[in-house]
Amino acid sequence: MSAVFTSPHEGRVPVLKLGGVLLVTLQGDLHDGTAEQLQQDIGETVAASRVSGVVIDLSGVEIIDSFMGRVLSDIAAQSRLLAAETVVAGMRPAVAITLVELGLTLPGLRTALSTEEAMRVLGAEAAYVVRGGHERRERP
């Protein structure tokens, strides 16, 4: 597992690369500027590393607004243009209800109940296993 370009100490959300997938875990509420920076970071990282998928873990998010919903949709559209599929994982029921109430259907985004399921959706299941801080390829 390798961190890619970003650090939470810089006011950014960490973007991790696991094999051919980027993993982004959101915790709490994001300020608009941080969300816009995340969108830019993901786009640049997808283009530079040529990954085939992006997993955005929302399990740490309790509330979402229309701006963040649009950012998620824009990330999916941008990633799709760069040949990567986006899966949102771990969405809480309250977040899903809010998105529906706001009329945000998030086209282009696939969903999964967990990060593990999102990796399976992207076909990355068991591709890389991290043990003791070292990355190694697993045999199918």
91-128: pLDDT as tens digits: 999 999 999 999 988 877 899 999 999 999 998 644 44
For 57-75, the pLDDT digits (tens) are 999 999 999 999 999 999 9
Handedness of CA 122, 123, 125, 127 (dihedral sign): negative
Question: What is the per-residue pLDDT for 45?
Answer: 95
Residue 67's closest CA among 96, 12, 30, 40?
Answer: 30
Quote the domain boundaries for residue 103: 2-137
How many domains does the chain fold into? 1
pLDDT of 1 over the 70 cut: no
Q: How many beta carbons lie within 10 A of that of residue 76, not counting itself?
A: 23
Which residues are bridge partners to 9 per DSSP? none
Q: Cβ(101)–Cβ(64) under 8 Å?
A: no
CATH assignment of the domain containing 67 = 3.30.750.24
Question: What is the per-residue pLDDT for 12?
Answer: 86
Model confidence at 10, in pLDDT bands (50, 70, 90)?
A: low
Model confidence at 46, in pLDDT bands (50, 70, 90)?
A: very high
